[in-house]
Structure 1
Amino acid sequence: MNATHASRYRETYARWQADPIEFWREAASEIEWVKPPQVIFDAEAGVYGRWFPDASCNTCFNALDRHVRDGRGEQTALIYDSPVTGTKASYSYRELLGEVATLAAVLEDLGVGKGDRVIIYMPMIPEAAFAMLACARIGAVHSVVFGGFAAKELATRIDDARPKVILTATCGIEPTRIVEYKPLLDGAIALAAHKPETCVVLQRPQADASMHVTRDRNWRALVASATASGRQADCVEVAATDPLYVLYTSGTTGRPKGVVRDNGGHMVALKWTMENLYGVKPGEVFFTASDVGWVVGHSYIVYGPLLHGATSVLYEGKPVGTPDPGAFWRVISEHKAVAMFTAPTAFRAIRKEDPQATHLARYDLSHFRTLFLAGERADPDTLKWAEEVLKVPVIDHWWQTESGSCMVGNPVGLELLPVKHGSPTVPLPGYDVHCLDEAGKPVSAGTMGAIVVKLPLPPGALPTLWQDDERFRQSYLTAFPGYYNTSDAGYIDEDGYVFIMGRTDDIINVAGHRLSTGGMEEVLASHPAVAECAVVGIRDALKGEQPCGFIVLKSGVTQSPAEVEKELVALVRDKIGPVAAFKLAVTVARLPKTRSGKILRATMKKIADGEDYVMPATIDDPAVLDEIGEVLRARVAT
């Protein structure tokens, strides 16, 4: 690692290591507190300690009110861009504050107060952000459930969070269909043991919805009434350790895990990352192409940019198909975004449809500085392609719903470190990352193991699971005592760069050899004909497991699928060796994914092994699972 390039990062990380209390005290000074913290960390509180235990604050005040007070009132806070409806709107900080304070008054009129839960089941529209901030304003705990989530899974979240009110819209809009939310919500409430007192329904013109006589209220009518009477809610003082939100991790069986985010640590962490990690300054435009139903949308569509006084883009569209593979370039160009954050799968989709990036030539991206990728492993081939076409740094960074912000990344705002393709770079301050073997012993540099974080976790990371400290301990803290278990596998090289190779479940055992499916995917993705791929370990009577590579070819590939598959088998043998026992590459039209773009590898494995599986609640298109099954059956038959 070049010492000159690394100096600011090394100095900052060393400063955190030497005195973490003083480091976070300084970071906390960027937040306006009702009662400033005197105690920065209490090691005896909570499961592993609590940050800012004696402080009080309000997240909405820091995101909106203080910017209006301090002269940013006329600056654009939120840009809504919806190619699926042909709608655009922008809200200044002053206008956004008015919308949020009015909706917060509506919630108060419905009996919502500090500590009450509110489920938000919404598409990517401004009202979703209004709802989150309105809850934060009055001290209510929001739980955003991804819009269109199936009734059964929504019901489990209703029963766990026990919301007083549910905020929803009549539908979400996909490029090829309307997803009606109200029937799903009605079905979920029928299934749930807990019944919310009120559902507030935003009628969208694309779908009307029937209203329950006593339970359902019209969103626009309630807001209009509050506006007419001048009702606006004030900010409510909450403890820094009070929950801001509960966000459920995606699971299809059993009780979901409700990740808790507190108010104080969350603000401190996000505000620090906006400039030090992302290199975005107040007043600049940050475009995060995610969904408010996921942690990325919470952190970097709604809270992070607004806490920082930046402008955030809320995009209701896709990387391709709304209307073409130039969709992201248009948004960046039109709204003058300096940085973008999305998932690697989005860029794989763009590359598949437009491998020469011909659509890019139509747009001026001269102001665009950095692309950030996270959410799934960014294969080196996709990273290199994005670097080549965009001519800007492309930064893979690694984090989880549980962490709330980045754990390992290239700190652009401090100093851009040399990029190593396949690595999200280095741990950020607050994260003491280690690689351990199954016995909990450190492994040597470059050796695969379990990626863990030494306790305590920093501000912004989850302090526990919703009303279940014991489950939090069992899920994250018992496998490696003294460490948080990320459930990710990988290695740390001699320069301290972390390589995340996949979930520990994605490490397969082939005749006693532990092999990373992520490493094999890296090799497959390097083939010029491959748009995207996924490797899963499938049952094998002799070796225990054998790897199976599912591949999607780029548009316009002239080779036959059989030729490409043969080349891929040889490529893996050449790059990884015979030990990989890689003999099966299967061409498919598309891979099964969640609507956020994560590949459903565990479900593919069950299909390949002939096991029963539960339809994943967040799957983008269930029909793709039948397609995978048909291809596998045809392969077995031949």
Structure 2
Amino acid sequence: MASRYHEVYAGWQSDPEGFWAKAAEDIDWFRRWDKVFDAPAGVYGHWFAGAECNTCFNAVDRHVEGGRADQIALVHDSAVTGTMTRFTYAELKAEIVALAAVLAKLGVEKGDRVIIYMPMVAEAAIAMLACARLGAVHSVVFGGFAATELATRIDDARPKLIISASCGLEPGRVVAYKPLLDGAIDLAGHKPASCLILQRPQLACDTVPGRDIDYADAVSAAKASGTDVPCVPVAATDPLYVLYTSGTTGQPKGVVRDNGGHMVALKWSMQNEFGVAPGEVFWAASDVGWVVGHSYIVYAPLLHGCTTILFEGKPVGTPDAGTFWRVIADHGVVALFTAPTAFRAIKKEDPKGEFVSKHDLSRFRTLFLAGERADPETIRWAEQKLGVPVIDHWWQTETGHPISQNPVGLGMLPVKYGSPCVPMPGFDVRVLDDAGHEVARNTLGNVVLKLPLPPGCLPTLWNADKRFHDAYLAEFPGYYKTADAGYVDDDGYLFIMARTDDIINVAGHRLSTGAMEEVLAEHPDVAECAVIGIADAMKGQIPCGFVVLNSGVTRDIAEIEREVVALVRERIGPVAAFKLVVTIKRLPKTRSGKILRGTMQKIADKEAWAMPATIDDPAILDEITQALATRGIGV
């Protein structure tokens, strides 16, 4: 069908408040707003000022009341344990009400903070929604985070209570959470009054008398008592959650998400951007500890009346590279949202896509990729093997929903490989030079968003308005700094090439590491790659490429590296000064799939570096150090 995108985007531009007021009609309000947008409020303004609402009511209760009580709302699919649990909307509500009753009995009230430190279990989503029901502010910390990292979040959020579990499960190993939780509480200056502990059968834990409470026993008692807990009205501008993201100073930044604008933006995105209808099955293969898990495992699908999948497993190894296709087939998934790194892992293990044909993917319509640049080669591979549109889209923890994508629900636009397509309504994307002046089309610069940010974006950082202003708004007055570098082409398509920190200066030429990575990924033997700039006395910086080869490649590695160098010189030119390629077994990544380029660069430049809190496997950095040392780098 012909795309309605340009018409819809122009409609938002001509009347932003009218656009979002209309979108807000899809949300149930206890009290309507006095102002759609209150410009003088907060750091840059507040959305739906004066309105009262409840996110849990909109995500669950209204569907139970409106005819979806018996529809499956949440599926917990654990490829690690081989178990599957389904909750209808009515059953999900019963679990949420029981847990909310437990929290209320323990003194949790509107505005109190609750930290959720859990693995990928259904109880993690239930805990988020129970907090929302009470008007409490949840802060999910990725399960298994080190005690020191958890302690900094405890001291910043000052939670009344922590909800945790005895353990998390990774392929081939059990991660004990309780010692990490106990260690964090010992380190933290703030002490929570209580901890609710979910005992998992794979590894039970000891509890601290007077503080720790058994989750299952407490919830069972609340169910037996029949206690009802109604949804507590909160201001639309009240915080729903705080999600910590790494800060450049080492002190994590608590991204705040409000209730009203968040619901409006996410509900609108499901149909118009993702092209998913109420009642259909949507799967975001992420973790509840990341923003994708918040927005598109828990909140957006349930607000929209969909069935959502909460998956405990990995794209490979639980048990094989066909796990994703099994989940799609078993549950009738129509759209999958995951990170490009997941598909690169699948492609590495199954380059011919032989597992795809073993499963019925007839209901599967669209694949969405975000979280890391989606290189054209990975997109082409996914298109070819799956036979569905592959949509690269771009957003951030801070925005909470896509800034730029191909809007499936409004009608797809032509695909341009390497581009997350066009800005979504609400986002006025500009590209500026370092002095704050707009640059010409097709010119690399700082990607910024003209204020105000739309509903659903962060209004501030937790208890840190000045830090929010200084980190995001001060450098380019009137704009939000994304810290990404890119350009807009003649058709208005956005190209995100790298974090601004990853733009390297080679003999006075500003070059994008992302553009070089696109070229490396085209080599048929390369599964994954990363490019960093390393210090050079003559040129300032020179690029260094890291490549991970596909499984089963037996060709001479030196020959492959020479071919990769030649490919970059051919596509980008001698100006790139690209001569150095290092073949490695795996790339260092965060648990959400982002490649740790900055840490790799510090190792190469012999700079001091700290172990990133979010790293998936610390041993990989030793491998990187050794691989560089064999080339005389970083020693």
For the criterion TM > 0.5, the same-fold answer is yes
In structure 1, distance between residues paired with 2:345 and 2:269: 28
Listed one character per residue, the Cα deviations across residues 156-210 of structure 1 (whole Å, up to 9, x for unaligned) are 1100000000000011100021111111111111111111111111010111111
Listed one character per residue, the Cα deviations across residues 239-260 of structure 1 (whole Å, up to 9, x for unaligned) are 0000000000134853210000
- The correspondence for 2:282, drawn from 279, 286, 302, is 286
- The correspondence for 2:463, drawn from 442, 464, 467, is 467
- The correspondence for 1:376, drawn from 368, 372, 375, is 372
Q: Find the counterpart in structure 1 of residue 170 from structure 2.
A: 174
- The correspondence for 1:11, drawn from 4, 7, 14, is 7
Q: Tell me if structure 2 keeps the 8 A contact 1:226–1:232.
A: no
What secondary structure does 2:109 align onto? coil
Q: How does 1:146-225 map to 2 (within 5 A)?
A: 146-225=142-221
What secondary structure does 1:418 align onto? coil
Q: Tell me if structure 2 keeps the 8 A contact 1:241–1:264.
A: yes
Aligned: 1:248 with 2:241: no
- The correspondence for 2:449, drawn from 453, 456, 475, is 453
- The correspondence for 1:508, drawn from 504, 507, 516, is 504
Aligned: 1:418 with 2:411: no
Q: Find the counterpart in structure 1 of residue 564 from structure 2.
A: 568
In structure 1, distance between residues paired with 2:28 and 2:223: 28
Q: Find the counterpart in structure 2 of residue 121 from structure 1.
A: 117
What secondary structure does 2:410 align onto? coil
What secondary structure does 2:44 align onto? coil
- The correspondence for 1:106, drawn from 102, 109, 114, is 102
Listed one character per residue, the Cα deviations across residues 46-84 of structure 1 (whole Å, up to 9, x for unaligned) are 111100011000000000000000110000000110010
Q: Find the counterpart in structure 1 of residue 296 from structure 2.
A: 300
What secondary structure does 1:314 align onto? strand
In structure 2, distance between residues paired with 1:15 and 1:166: 44
Q: Tell me if structure 2 keeps the 8 A contact 1:252–1:614.
A: no
In structure 2, distance between residues paired with 1:431 and 1:57: 25
What secondary structure does 2:131 align onto? helix
Shift of 1:598: 1.0
Aligned: 1:51 with 2:47: yes
Q: Between Structure 1 and Structure 2, how many residues are aligned?
A: 634
In structure 2, distance between residues paired with 1:54 and 1:38: 5
What secondary structure does 1:610 align onto? coil
AA paired with 2:28? E
What secondary structure does 1:562 align onto? helix
In structure 1, distance between residues paired with 2:166 and 2:607: 36
Listed one character per residue, the Cα deviations across residues 311-369 of structure 1 (whole Å, up to 9, x for unaligned) are 00000000000000000000001100000000000000000000000001100111110
- The correspondence for 1:554, drawn from 529, 550, 553, is 550
Q: How does 1:218-617 map to 2 (within 5 A)?
A: 218-251=214-247, 254-617=250-613
Structure 1 portions without partners, runs of 5+:
none
Q: Find the counterpart in structure 2 of residue 138 from structure 1.
A: 134
TM-score normalised by length of structure 2: 0.99
Shift of 1:5: 3.7
AA paired with 1:593? K
Q: Tell me if structure 2 keeps the 8 A contact 1:73–1:92.
A: yes
AA paired with 1:28? A
What secondary structure does 1:636 align onto? coil
In structure 1, distance between residues paired with 2:501 and 2:227: 52
In structure 1, distance between residues paired with 2:174 and 2:602: 30
Shift of 1:556: 1.5
In structure 1, distance between residues paired with 2:411 and 2:609: 46
Structure 2 portions without partners, runs of 5+:
none
In structure 2, distance between residues paired with 1:151 and 1:315: 25
AA paired with 1:490? G
TM-score normalised by length of structure 1: 0.98
In structure 1, distance between residues paired with 2:342 and 2:498: 18
Aligned: 1:23 with 2:41: no
In structure 2, distance between residues paired with 1:228 and 1:360: 46
Q: Which stretch shifts more, 545-554 or 556-565?
A: 556-565
